[in-house]
Amino acid sequence: MTRQADKVTIGYAEYVEFPDWGIPRLRAKTDTGARTSALHVDNIERLPKSRVRFEVVVAAKDGGRRVWVEAPIVRVSNVRSSNGVPDERYIVSTTLRLGGVEKDIEVSLASRTGMIYRMLLGRRAIAHDFLVDPGRRYVASTPPKKKKKAEKKKVAKKKVAKKKVKKAARRSAP
């Protein structure tokens, strides 16, 4: 039997932090089928002295908020993606913070364009510190508050009103 009392329960999806990189919130999905964690990045550039620079795509909507990061390369590895095709990726190390646990993890830099989650948390990242409850999400983190329907309607009405004012201004302009 394994000890469970000292492990943090997490859901199939959580918000994680990367304090070393100045990233306070990033939506991640736990993937017990993946050995290594994968992070969606763009503009990967290999630098001298075994370093790499890349843009972390923090949010996909509205052009996406991005953070530039420079890190030492731990290794280059052939990673087999979910479609079975091997892909050569840079592996970097950083600090992960989730549910009060802070630990160093390795992350492969990948293009996850079109995927819902910007990051996959693999077995190595969750081993020894976390238990996964596959039926729940955001157990160890708090999702951002959603706008209430009434608030969304107010915003939509204001947008419509602004459009009407602009149209009227264009019509009355000489």
pLDDT digits (tens, 9 = 90+) for 100-131: 999 999 999 988 777 888 899 999 999 999 99
Position 169 scores a pLDDT of 67
pLDDT for the residue numbered 162:
73
The confidence score (pLDDT) of residue 2 equals 55
**pLDDT value, residue 149:** 64
pTM: 0.76
- What mean pLDDT is reported for the chain? 86
Query: What is the rounded distance in angstroms from the CA atom of residue 49 to the CA atom of residue 46?
Result: 9
Q: Who's near 44: CB < 8 A, 6+ residues apart?
A: 52, 53, 54, 90, 109
Does residue 86 sit in helix, strand or coil? strand
Q: What is the pLDDT of residue 1?
A: 43
Q: Which residues of the chain have pLDDT under 70?
A: 1-3, 60-63, 82, 147-152, 155, 165-174
